[in-house]
Chain A
Amino acid sequence: MKILVGYKRVVDYNVRVQVKPDGSGVVTDGVKLSANPFDDIALEEALRLREKGIATEVIVATIAPADAQAHLRNGLAMGANRAIHVVTPNAVQPLTAARALLKLIEKEQPHIVILGKQAIDDDCNQTGQMLAALWNRPQATFASAVEIAGDKAKVTREVDAGLETIEVDLPAVITTDLRLNEPRFIKLPDIMKAKSKPLETIDFASLGVESGDFLKTTTYAPPAKRSKGVMVKDAAELVAALKTKGLL
């Protein structure tokens, strides 16, 4: 069984993103880039399925500029068997990403595709669902537990009402939520080993994907700030203040 993992490079989650003063974007020069945390969870889940003997091969794929090879090497160092780099200088929107990933699916015929539920840069939370729709296959989004049995997956999903369990026929798309697992750390010898693992580059244009980049971002702005309030000295003063505002 083959697993394809979407592995996006984003601004590291520890970076406090700043909007450029002219509103043309966010500051990314010199900012640390890392794997999208949800994608690390996706890769970890795939590796665990391989370690359990359920999967035989784990492929990490990204759609990114040419300088993202080191990012894919990290995925290989974490344990993926091989990597696919769809090279494009432009950021692609979710529909385009889903269409490109579908091309990789057609080529690789994976049984499971695991993606992060959202990328922490654009926060769209769309690509997995769109991919499943275009592929005409099941989607199990926001997964917190995955059990594979034969040609079916039982997936527990983190939904607002609690935990929902669904069963899907494979092949299927699974998107990961935070609590699915804790990704392993990369060890130094694995970084060395990753250098010799196969990394295929594919020019985005050669995939023949029709662009779905229909949205135009016109301005970037910092969020409105909440003004700092007052400090109260004790519980009685707090209750009195809240009662005055009609909140209690």
Chain B
Amino acid sequence: MAKILIIAEHLNGKLNASTARCVTCAKDMKAKSIDVIVLSDNPTAVAAEAAKIDGVSKVLTVSNAANAHPLAAIYAPQIVDVARNGYTHVLAPSTTFGKDVAPRVAALLGVAQVSDIMKVEDAHTFQRPIYAGNAIITVEAPADKTLVATVRTASYAAAGSGGNAPVETVNVSVELPTHTRFIELSGAKSDRPDLQGASRVVSGGRGVGSAENFAVIFKLADKIGAAVGASRAAVDAGYVPSDLQVGQTGKIIAPELYMAIGISGAIQHLTGIKDAGTIVAINKDGEAPIFEVADFGLVGDLFKIIPELEQALS
């Protein structure tokens, strides 16, 4: 039976929702136990949040000043030390955090990694996307080795929050490297919902035309309480920063409502949104590929349609 260890992702004392999505994936593996490991300089608050996730057996905390920032080179040996206590699986979300740390863990364990699990067939058989989602493969991992994997968070809903798992402090005695140092994190801080976890997302593309024009996208998003995203074309044109990019090379998201405005729908963008609940496309080109995947399409000038939308919402 699978004994699963999930690496918690957190920032500023808050647990990232991707952790609860990993728990949902872990449940599909018919696990005997699902433990969450929190590495931090002050894990208490994050551990308390993780303990509430439905299905979590226990939460392990590794408190160390060196864990103040999520540096893979520092986290990985500690995770490996804990994983060696009989864990059969180590899971991390397929976010930049998980993608950074999980392969380092796998290599230290001398095992392979399955990236971007989108479906569990059994505890060692999974589906994952390749070629930017143009093909889905089924991969089998050996049952006699620890399995390290990242979970494509867009494929899994977050587990509920009715749990009450015990929290245990773990002492890890491994030598930590000093060759990697955190300097700073400059995030576009905003009051808007986080793009990765938002239930509604309004995205703008090249059709928006300029950084100034993007104000209309932000305004509409605020009106419906949505996060703001953008296509790669809009990011490359410098309209918005890259952390808003949705698509294969940006964020892969699965909101309930996705509104693509002035986005033509390049394959790499579509890969990032194909698990969205409902896709709305607004574009002046009725032949744009985005309409092939949209649940609701509206052809027209976005600068005319957005004010009309706002009016209809009032």
List A residues at the B interface (Cβ < 8 Å).
11, 16-19, 26, 93-95, 98, 120-134, 136-142, 144, 154, 157-169, 172, 177-179, 212-223, 226, 228-236, 238-242, 245, 247-248
B183 close to A216 (CB less than 8 A):
no
Q: Which residues of B contact A172 (CB under 8 A)?
A: 179
**Known contacts A26-B131, A26-B135, A142 near B185 by CB under 8 Å:** no
- With both beta carbons as reference points, the residue of chain B lying nearest to A245 in the complex is identified as B278
A239 close to B183 (CB less than 8 A):
no
B104 close to A129 (CB less than 8 A):
yes
The answer for the CA separation of A185 and B179 in the assembled complex, in Å, is 35
Check if B112 is an interface residue, CB within 8 A of chain A.
Answer: yes
A139 close to B185 (CB less than 8 A):
no
Chain B interface helix/strand/loop/mixed: mixed
Chain A interface helix/strand/loop/mixed: mixed
Q: Quote the shortest CB–CB distance from B122 to chain A (angstroms).
A: 12
The answer for the CA separation of A229 and B312 in the assembled complex, in Å, is 21
List B residues at the A interface (Cβ < 8 Å).
11, 71-73, 76, 95-97, 99-108, 110-116, 125, 129-142, 145, 177, 179-188, 196, 200, 224, 232, 241-243, 249, 251, 256-257, 267, 274, 277-280, 291-300, 305, 308-309, 311-313
B267 close to A16 (CB less than 8 A):
yes
B294 close to A217 (CB less than 8 A):
no
B113 close to A94 (CB less than 8 A):
yes
Q: Which residues of B contact A215 (CB under 8 A)?
A: 112, 114, 139-141
B185 close to A164 (CB less than 8 A):
yes
Q: Quote the shortest CB–CB distance from A97 to chain B (angstroms).
A: 11
Query: Can you show 6 pairs from A to B with CB atoms below 8 A apart?
Result: A161-B11, A167-B180, A221-B135, A228-B293, A235-B309, A235-B312
Q: A11-B131, A130-B103, A142-B100 are in contact. List 4 more A-B contacts (CB 8 A).
A: A163-B186, A165-B186, A229-B296, A240-B312
**Known contacts A133-B103, A165-B184, A235 near B308 by CB under 8 Å:** yes
Name the one of A129, A218, A222, A226 contacting B274, with C-beta atoms under 8 angstroms.
A226
A123 close to B11 (CB less than 8 A):
no
A169 close to B179 (CB less than 8 A):
yes
The answer for the CA separation of A21 and B34 in the assembled complex, in Å, is 38
Name the one of A124, A223, A241 contacting B133, with C-beta atoms under 8 angstroms.
A223
Q: Which residues of B contact A162 (CB under 8 A)?
A: 185-188, 241, 243
Q: Which residues of A contact B73 (CB under 8 A)?
A: 132, 138-139
A214 close to B111 (CB less than 8 A):
yes
A-B pairs, 10 with minimum CB distance = A162-B187, A235-B308, A129-B103, A229-B295, A130-B107, A133-B107, A126-B103, A239-B312, A214-B112, A17-B131
A133 close to B71 (CB less than 8 A):
no
- With both beta carbons as reference points, the residue of chain A lying nearest to B307 in the complex is identified as A235
Name the one of A214, A221, A223, A229 contacting B297, with C-beta atoms under 8 angstroms.
A229
B132 close to A168 (CB less than 8 A):
no
Q: Quote the shortest CB–CB distance from A85 to chain B (angstroms).
A: 24
Q: Which residues of A contact B177 (CB under 8 A)?
A: 136, 138
Q: Quote the shortest CB–CB distance from A222 to chain B (angstroms).
A: 7
Which of B11, B73, B115, B251 has the most chain A CB atoms inside 10 A of its CB?
B73
Q: Which residues of B contact A247 (CB under 8 A)?
A: 200, 256-257, 277-278
The answer for the CA separation of A166 and B297 in the assembled complex, in Å, is 43
B243 close to A161 (CB less than 8 A):
yes
- With both beta carbons as reference points, the residue of chain A lying nearest to B308 in the complex is identified as A235
Which of B100, B224, B232 has the most chain A CB atoms inside 10 A of its CB?
B100
A95 close to B72 (CB less than 8 A):
no
